[in-house]
């Protein structure tokens, strides 16, 4: 290719629609099931969903999760079960946001927001504790000083559509498979795949998976 052919390409692209954005002032919209920073969810009555079973820590390929459970006090339970997550830590210097912890959780306690941008000035800030991970009284993630939250990053987490995803088992489409969450209630199920109706669900598919 000669010099003039190269200049022709350059001048032609100058008048085409730009595909870049003015980051970080402007950001592209994130997919609905984007895997970002984790949150620990609570039931609609405010009780924590985590039961300290440590399945999320066991399945994590990066070994970034540390959980230690404890027994609930009869007069002041933290979760509806016998145990709760007494210690919960995630090291974001190791996390690869694979979402396997979300898939392993039997109580839908851990999900992921759309936030993925961190700006740590201290390595200790990268290790999130339970106090930073548990959602607030509105059911929204705690917003820490070094996180760049944008509109919509905290409104939906990735895992609530897990059992009803169109790319998953078609028998569960259009059926609620997620327990209520603080601030959100029971979320609407995923719709059926385009061009077809969902197959009949197996026995017990509509039962509440939460408690």
State residue 208's pLDDT score. 44
Residue numbers of the domain that contains 184? 34-139+152-190
Would 169 be classed as within a structural domain? yes
Does residue 110 carry a pLDDT above 80?
Answer: yes
Would 72 be classed as within a structural domain? yes
Would 57 be classed as within a structural domain? yes
Would 118 be classed as within a structural domain? yes
Burial class (CB in 10 A: 0-12, 13-18, 19+), 197: exposed
Would 101 be classed as within a structural domain? yes
CATH number of residue 41's parent domain: 3.30.70.3270
Higher pLDDT, 132 or 192: 132
Higher pLDDT, 172 or 81: 81
- What total number of domains does the chain contain? 1
Would 24 be classed as within a structural domain? no
Residue 76's beta-bridge partner residues? 73
Would 80 be classed as within a structural domain? yes
Would 45 be classed as within a structural domain? yes
C-alpha dist (Å) from residue 116 to 7, 146, 190: 39, 11, 24
211: closest CA among 174, 176, 175, 180?
Answer: 180
| Tens of pLDDT, residues 149-202 | 888 888 776 555 554 454 556 666 677 777 888 888 887 776 665 555 544 554
């Amino acid at each position: 290719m000669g010099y003039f052919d190269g200049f022709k390409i350059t001048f032609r692209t100058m008048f085409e629609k730009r595909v870049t954005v003015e980051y970080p002032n402007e950001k592209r919209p994130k997919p609905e099931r984007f895997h970002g920073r984790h949150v620990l969810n609570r039931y609609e009555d405010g009780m924590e969903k985590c039961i300290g079973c440590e399945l999320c820590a066991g399945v994590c390929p990066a070994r970034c999760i540390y959980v230690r459970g404890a027994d609930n006090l009869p007069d002041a339970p933290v979760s509806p079960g016998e145990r709760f997550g007494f210690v919960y830590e995630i090291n974001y210097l190791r996390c690869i946001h694979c979402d396997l912890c979300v898939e392993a959780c039997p109580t839908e306690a851990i999900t992921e927001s759309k936030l993925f941008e961190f700006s740590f000035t201290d390595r200790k800030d990268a290790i999130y504790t339970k106090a930073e991970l548990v959602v607030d009284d509105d059911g929204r993630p705690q917003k820490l000083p070094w996180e760049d939250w944008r509109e919509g990053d905290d409104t939906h987490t990735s895992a609530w559509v897990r059992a009803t995803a169109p790319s998953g088992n078609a028998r569960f489409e259009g059926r609620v498979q997620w327990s209520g969450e603080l601030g959100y209630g029971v979320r609407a199920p995923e719709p059926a795949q385009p061009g077809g109706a969902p197959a009949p669900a197996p026995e017990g598919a509509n039962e509440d998976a939460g408690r």
